[in-house]
Amino acid sequence: MGWWDDIPDERYWLEATDRDDIGTDLRAPLSDSGGRTNWRYALFRDANPGDVVFHYDGNAAAITSRSVIAGPPFEQPITWSARGSYARERGAVPVEVPGYAMPLRDHRKLTEPVTLASLRADRIALDKIEKSLRKSHPGKPLYFPFELSDRPVRPMQGYAFKLPAAFVRHFQMAPASPETPELTISRDRRRVTRLFRVWREAILGDATRGNGLWEQPVERFFFRNQDERTSQRLGPRTALGIDPTGKDWAVQINEAKNPGDLDITSAIAFDPAGRPFLIRQGRLAANAVSPKPILYEEFAKLTGLRSARVANGDSRIFRDWYVVTPLDIPADGIRAKTGQFVDACAAARRAAGDGVSDPSVNSIEIGSGDERGGLFTSPARPALPERQLRRLQGEVWVAMARVLRKAGLYVGKPRHAGGYEVDAEIVGGGHEFLVEIKSAAAAADVHTGVGQLLLYQALIPRLAQHRRILLLPALPKDALVKAIERYEITVCTYRLTRKARSVKVEFSTEFLDLFAAGVAE
């Protein structure tokens, strides 16, 4: 338990990094080079959606911007390079490691950056903030982001830190107005064609193909050519959604034949600094999910998105434009931003179809497709050749679904329209279960799993009475198991054995006995 627990105002964090795509997401290894869980990497897993994370940019030596955490952590391989003097001495290079990521939204520059020079000049205030915290929370680690010793103030070595609310108040860390900068739609056919190609290549990266659809396995959205499904090439008219059949699309993003024509719904725009953006009008055509069109004011209300200022975006009628994604960030960032926009459009459609007025305060549930096991290809990156990785959690899910469906139970994956996806709902024979699967049993994994089970039941009230199961590859220590069980969560285990070209998953008797009689491997 952190010192900030039960203090509503303490919802601020600090990312210390020199990455070039700040604000895309948070990402860090699951363990340090010694294989141990390290709070300097793992601390963000204690943060909650809606918390604010400030970004210390090592290249600028300043806190330059802030974002809002958009969802819980999820595990995925990441490219990581250790930092610090020791890492530099041993010539650390980026490598792919098991990691986690957390989505972000609403990334905005600060009105005034908080520079390292200003922190050093205000050393007395920093000392006062830290001493006050130590007095109020004796014996508890503060995870304070700055070193206060006999040397000049400097950032602590690490990636993830807790930023006290008193720090935010003292330095008046207000974000710049979201209305700036103004965008201008491009009419340059060559530039527009090239940048739409950048977007399509980004969403195709890491995608799997089947039944005429492409699927992004991490961001969990599907897309297809709007007019046909047989071509292996993604054309200029793209339908995107979260329906694994591809039937009920959420939004269409089409490259215009005449760039700059205001009859189009999607465009390429530039800010005053020359940064390119893919933008789309805030209107959705009717389909089976939302029988009536969703237009402008209703689009803003149901998606919760903030429109962009577009200098040449209007003609004789009022039009709202929304940023889908910047196009000068890495491909995985483009995929993440696109996935968030698709989720928002899917939420709007379901809210309109259900007559729900505000998806931020209502439980809007969207079905999700089955998980997949097997291998996926991680593309080559600088200092890292292409390699194949296995979806271990997906392998466990597939094996579980096969066993339980064979016994006649329903196994599905409910998904909240805000992007929060349940690992499994299991129903049958009078049983209703909610299952969270983890591929490791470290304390951080257990903490995250418990939080997810409780969070999902709050987000989707239909699941509130389901029995909660945390499925781990091994049992944690007895004290932790007992603590988990106080929350009426059953801890069960599985065993995963790797083979040359496959894996074998076996479930504990205690897990199988929870369900209908006759469930067996």
Read off the pLDDT of residues 412-446 as tens digits, 9 standing for 90 and up: 877 665 556 788 888 876 778 999 998 888 877 88
pLDDT of residue 195: 95
Q: Rounded distance, CA 289 to CA 350, Å?
A: 6
pLDDT of residue 34: 79
Report whether pLDDT(49) > 70.
yes
Q: Which runs of E-coded beta strand occur in 186-340?
A: 208-210, 213-216, 221-225, 237-241, 251-254, 266-270, 276-281, 283-284, 294-295, 321-326
Q: Rounded distance, CA 30 to CA 445, Å?
A: 9
Report whether pLDDT(88) > 60.
no
Report whether pLDDT(115) > 90.
yes
Question: Which of the residue ranges 230-239, 360-369, 408-417, 428-437 would you say has the lowest mean pLDDT?
Answer: 360-369
Helix, strand or coil for residue 480? Answer: helix
Q: Which runs of E-coded beta strand occur in 221-307?
A: 221-225, 237-241, 251-254, 266-270, 276-281, 283-284, 294-295
pLDDT of residue 78: 85
Helix, strand or coil for residue 401? Answer: helix
- Supply the pTM of this predicted model: 0.45
Tens digits of residue pLDDT in 298-314: 888 888 788 888 888 76
Q: Rounded distance, CA 46 to CA 5, Å?
A: 10
Q: Rounded distance, CA 265 to CA 464, Å?
A: 40
Sequence letter at residue 427: V
Q: Are strands 467-472 and 431-437 parallel, antiparallel or unpaired?
A: parallel
Average pLDDT, integer, range 104-121 = 89
Average pLDDT, integer, range 4-33 = 88
Q: How many helices (H) and strands (E) does the chain have?
A: 12, 29
Report the mean per-residue pLDDT for the chain.
82
Please answer whether residues 229 and 212 qualify as being in contact, where contact means their C-beta atoms are separated by less than 8 angstroms.
yes
Please answer whether residues 326 and 275 qualify as being in contact, where contact means their C-beta atoms are separated by less than 8 angstroms.
yes
CB atoms within 10 A of CB 483: 14
CA–CA distance from 505 to each of 319, 398, 510, 517 (Å)? 53, 9, 15, 20
Helix, strand or coil for residue 332? Answer: helix
Please answer whether residues 420 and 72 qualify as being in contact, where contact means their C-beta atoms are separated by less than 8 angstroms.
yes
Report whether pLDDT(90) > 70.
no
Residue pointed to by tokens 């959205």: 221
Sequence letter at residue 243: D
Helix (H) or strand (E) holding 366: strand 365-368
Tokens coding 340:
């968030």
Sequence letter at residue 446: V
Which pairs with CB-CB distance under 8 Å and at least 24 residues apart come from 58-62? 58/16, 58/17, 58/18, 58/155, 59/18, 60/113, 60/115, 61/115, 61/116, 61/117, 62/113, 62/114, 62/115, 62/116
Sequence letter at residue 283: R
Tokens coding 484:
């988990």
Provide, for the chain, the percentages of residues in helix, strand and coil under a 3-state DSSP scheme, each rounded to the nearest 5: 25, 30, 45
Report whether pLDDT(9) > 70.
yes
Report whether pLDDT(283) > 70.
yes
pLDDT of residue 161: 96
CA-wise closest residue to 327 among 201, 188, 241, 190? 201
pLDDT of residue 260: 66
Report whether pLDDT(154) > 90.
yes
Sequence letter at residue 181: P
pLDDT of residue 382: 45
pLDDT band of residue 338 (cuts 50, 70, 90) is very high
